[in-house]
Structure formats: structure tokens, C-alpha cells
Amino acid sequence: MKRTLFLWSYQLHPDYLKVFQFNPAEDRLVYVNSTDQWTYYHFHKQRIVYHLSAYRHHFETAKQNGWNVTWIDASTLPEALQGQDALYGFEPTNFYEKAWLNNISINLLPDPTFFILASEWPTLLPPQKNWKLDPLYRQFRQRFNILMEKGEPLGGQYSFDRENRSGYKGDYLVPRLTFTPDTITTHWSQWVLNHFPDHPGSLDAFNYPVTRDDALTMLDHFVTYRLATFGLVQDAMQQHDPWMSHSLLSAAINLGLLSPREVVLHAETAFHKGLAPLSAVEGFIRQILGWREYVRGVYLQKGPRYLHLNYFQHERPLPDFFYDGKTNMNCLSSTLQETIHHGYNHHIQRLMVLSNYANLAEISPQDINRWFNEMYIDSFEWIVAANVIGMGLFADGGMMSTKPYIASGAYLHKMSNYCDQCDYQVTLKTGEKACPFNSLYWQFIHEKKATLQRNPRMSMMVKVWEKMDDTLKKELLETALHHVH
């Protein structure tokens, strides 16, 4: 039977064709470039180019391999898919994309690239239970037999997280790959500049793999040169080095240029070949087999209402500097310049610089959630939701984490070299020159003390605040007032 398979721009892995035995002799592939996909969020220009370039490369390769392929340009996805016969597709995770398919006659198949099927999450995350990653991660390690020996975790423990929390230890450079934009990427860059000139971000430094071959090269490069030090500097931040030992593979994985499974297996093999220590390999694998799957489960289980949670009732608008990086706080301005130029920040910048600031400055979680969806090369609503609403802001009241991830300037100073070049002084708590994170931190504790003192992991800080000298308290709250918008 002849089937028409619609592929989203992020369903590019060969498994999508293999698992349900689609084949070029009988079936047809449909690709849709519709405006709604690029404007549902006001996406960073590089993200749109990345999707379109990788999508078009897939289209051209399929054509060369004998597939009957159709490329449709349209305003909306439903308009493009209306009336296609014997239409098949893979279920999207994003709720808004599912809604677009509501009135389309399409046979939806389960996504074969995740470790965990969408249909398994109701059992794995039952509504009445408190959710934690750790027990699930252990279960997944056993089930998929990753870093295991005779039913036990290699090295005698499931997590080496404690060994992977070092701060900034001085300059540190690792080799990085360059991908020169080819004619397809150049075409879509110009197209994006023409069609979406007011979208955020710059296209000047686009440097991402747009084909499966390039993505595989990137995976090899990471495993050869950076995996060994991944754990060591996983939480550290360094001015002028946005990448350090991180893999930069998120966007390639999210688009299906690589499957999470093959990335995990590649890292595991590197350990067995002696290329990287267990702590680094386990730390890396936990991010993919653990966190990436888990945040999908949380999104699916919580449903669209999760995006509207606002536990602390924060209502301040997002400051303009989130789009131009113009602030005297060096940690924020350096991080935001990298977001604008690369559509990339590593995890601790996203969590402990940007989300931490947003939480302390009482910015609306919905504004921040929107911003994270807009600004990253790897953004997907299903990944951003739990990372921002849950982990970054505690806006879900603790479904994802046992305490808010908030920190004063001392933490940022320990983990980075940003403070050395900042207009503010990290050691000062009050006054014009004091690091804003210090006064904002104590203001946060003060404002929320009734709630925080019930949290065993935060009650100590409430006690410290209450014992603090009244004059200092007053000065801290006055200083904090200068830093909220």
C-alpha cells in the first residue's frame, strides 16, 4: 500500500523510516515549511535556519535515495496537510503541535527515538506520587543495561554527581569543530533574514551540524576530545568560552540527526575503551538517559496547565536586557551575549545565572518560559517546561525539585571568573557597588520566609536572615529595590 509520511523538521533520524518499514518503492515523504512552525514562539533566527537547513538536507538526500518527496510551503501546517491521502506521521510531543493535527486525517505513530514511549509515562509518573529523577534513572540504567555489570552499576554506584561539581579552576581550552555554512544553510539564512527580520538573535556565528554525517562527526569529536573532562567542568563557567567540555549535541539530538540511544552507547563504549573516566561518562549519560527523558515525562503528565503555574506569584516583566545583553552584571551580560550570538548556553548558565536571576528578581515564570523557548538553538516546549517552570523557578511549588535553585553572588564567583571583570563587587552586600545577586537573594528569603521555613532545605537560610542585624537587613532590602524592574 502506498503511504504518505509527513515528517516534522525534528524527525530526521533514519529510525523514523526504519521502524515502521517505510520504503522508497511504495511510500512518499512530505515535508512542510509552514510559517506557524517558526512563529508560534518568536524563535531565534539560528533556530529557524537550523530546522530548515537540516530538513532540506534530509529532503535532498531522500530524493537522491529514490524516495518520492514533496516539499510544501504554506502559512499553516493544517492547511498543508489537509486532504493528503493515507497520511501517516509520528506523534509530536509539543501540545500545540498535537492541536494542529486535531482536524487532520492522519495515522499517528509513536516516536521511536526516545528510550521511553509516551504511553509509558502515566505508569512511571503516577499523579499521586512525588516525582524524583533518581529512582527512574536507576530503573532505566537496569532496563537498558547501560553502565551495568551483572545487574549492578559499574563502579558500585549509580551516580557520580558529587565528583562533577567543581568550580572554576583557571583557564581551560578544548578544541572545537567548525561547520562552514553550505549553499543550503546560506539559502535558508537569507530566507530567514527576509521573512523574519524582527526575530531575536544573530546569524553571524552559525556553527551547527545540519546533516547526519556532520552530527556523527561532532559526536566523535566530543567523545575524543571533551568527554573525559565533561564531569570535571560540568558546572563551571568561563568568560569567553561558552562551551568548555559540553557536547553541544542537544540541537542535533532534538532534531533527530542523532538518536539519544546512539549518543549514550557511544559514550559508554568510550568508557570501555578507556577514553574517559566513569564519573564523566556516567555524568553525561545521566543527562540524556535521565534528565532528557524525565523532563518529557513531566511535560506529558502535567499537561498544558503546567506552563501557567506561578507558585511565588511573580509578576514582574522580563527586562529588555534579556534580548540585547546590555546590563552591568557581567555574568548576565556575558551569558546573554552568547545566547544572542550562538543560541546556546550550557546548563549551569541557563540554571544558575539566568533562571536564578529571574527568580530572585521576581520575573513572571510565563515570561521566562517564553524567552527560553524563543532563544535557544535546541529549544522545544516539552524540554523547556520542566527545566524552567520546575527546576529553574520552582514555579510548580516543588514537583520537580526539593528546593528553589537560588544562589547569591558567592556561588557564581566560585563557579566562574565572571566577577573578575564586573562593575559590581561580589563581596559587597549593600550599596551601589554591591553584587545585585546578594541583596536580591536576601530579599527573596525575606519575602518568602513563611513558605521557605517549612522547607527543610531552606529553613536554615530563613533563620540566618532572622538573626541578621536590623540595620543590615534594611540596607539589603533598600539595595535590592534598585535591582528590580
Ligand X SMILES: Cc1cc2nc3c(=O)[nH]c(=O)nc-3n(C[C@H](O)[C@H](O)[C@H](O)COP(=O)(O)OP(=O)(O)OC[C@H]3O[C@@H](n4cnc5c(N)ncnc54)[C@H](O)[C@@H]3O)c2cc1C
Instruction: Kindly list the residues in this chain that would bind ligand SF4 in the complex (CB under 6 A).
Output: 329-331, 409, 412-413, 418-419, 422, 424, 426, 435-437
Q: Give the number of other CB atoms < 10 A from CB of residue 473.
A: 16
Between 37 and 356, CB nearer to ligand SF4: 356
254 lies in the site for ligand X, by CB under 6 A = yes
CB of 326 to ligand SF4, least distance (A): 14
332 lies in the site for ligand X, by CB under 6 A = no
| 104 DSSP 8-state letter | S
State the binding partner of 412 from ligand X, ligand SF4, none, CB within 5 to 8 A by kind.
ligand SF4
State the binding partner of 248 from ligand SF4, ligand X, none, CB within 5 to 8 A by kind.
ligand X
3-state secondary structure of 320: coil
379 lies in the site for ligand X, by CB under 6 A = yes
Identified binder of ligand X from the candidate list 77, 87, 203, 248, rule CB under 6 A: 248
Where does this chain touch ligand X (CB under 6 A) — which range of 178-186, 244-252, 269-277, 450-458?
Answer: 244-252
Where does this chain touch ligand X (CB under 6 A) — which range of 78-86, 199-207, 303-311, 350-358?
Answer: 350-358
Q: Give the number of other CB atoms < 10 A from CB of residue 418.
A: 24
Where does this chain touch ligand X (CB under 6 A) — which range of 117-125, 298-306, 378-386, 426-434?
Answer: 378-386
Between 254 and 430, CB nearer to ligand X: 254
State the binding partner of 435 from ligand SF4, ligand X, none, CB within 5 to 8 A by kind.
ligand SF4
Task: Give which of 470, 449, 477 is closest to 461, Cα–Cα.
Answer: 449
State the binding partner of 250 from ligand X, ligand SF4, none, CB within 5 to 8 A by kind.
ligand X
372 lies in the site for ligand X, by CB under 6 A = yes
User: What CA–CA distance (Å, rounded) separates 451 from 483?
Assistant: 23
CB of 435 to ligand SF4, least distance (A): 3
385 lies in the site for ligand X, by CB under 6 A = no
CB of 387 to ligand SF4, least distance (A): 21
Task: Give which of 372, 343, 387, 284 is closest to 51, Cα–Cα.
Answer: 343
User: What CA–CA distance (Å, rounded) separates 127 from 365?
Assistant: 23
User: What CA–CA distance (Å, rounded) separates 35 from 72?
Assistant: 11
User: What CA–CA distance (Å, rounded) separates 365 from 108?
Assistant: 32
Identified binder of ligand X from the candidate list 165, 187, 266, 347, rule CB under 6 A: 347
Residue spans of alpha helices (H) in 65-94: 77-81
Identified binder of ligand X from the candidate list 249, 360, 415, 445, rule CB under 6 A: 249
* Residue window 47-66: x/- pattern of binding to ligand X, with contact defined by CB under 6 A: --------------------
User: What CA–CA distance (Å, rounded) separates 210 from 49?
Assistant: 10
Instruction: Return the exposure string of 448-468: e unless at least 16 CB atoms fall within 10 Å of the residue's CB, then b.
Output: bbebbbebeebeebbeebeee
291 lies in the site for ligand X, by CB under 6 A = yes
Between 266 and 414, CB nearer to ligand SF4: 414
User: Exposed, middle or buried: residue 59 (CB in 10 Å: 0-12, 13-18, 19+)?
Assistant: buried
Between 413 and 448, CB nearer to ligand SF4: 413
DSSP string, 13-40: STHHHHTTT--TTT-EEEEEEEHHHHHT
Strands 28-34 and 68-74: parallel
Where does this chain touch ligand X (CB under 6 A) — which range of 68-76, 285-293, 301-309, 411-419?
Answer: 285-293
How many residues make up the chain in this entry? 485
User: Exposed, middle or buried: residue 14 (CB in 10 Å: 0-12, 13-18, 19+)?
Assistant: exposed
Between 88 and 437, CB nearer to ligand SF4: 437
41 lies in the site for ligand X, by CB under 6 A = no
Contact of 232 with 164, CB cutoff 8 Å: yes
Cα end-to-end distance, the chain, whole Å: 61
CB of 121 to ligand X, least distance (A): 15
CB of 422 to ligand SF4, least distance (A): 3
# of chain residues touching ligand X (CB under 6 A): 29
Task: Give which of 182, 259, 245 is closest to 215, Cα–Cα.
Answer: 259
Q: What residue ranges in 49-174 does DSSP mark as E strands?
A: 68-74, 87-90, 107-109, 148-149, 152-153
Identified binder of ligand X from the candidate list 159, 250, 259, 339, rule CB under 6 A: 250
* Interface contacts to ligand X, rule CB under 6 A: 246-250, 253-254, 284, 287-288, 291-292, 295, 346-347, 350-351, 355, 372, 376, 378-380, 383-384, 387-388, 391-392
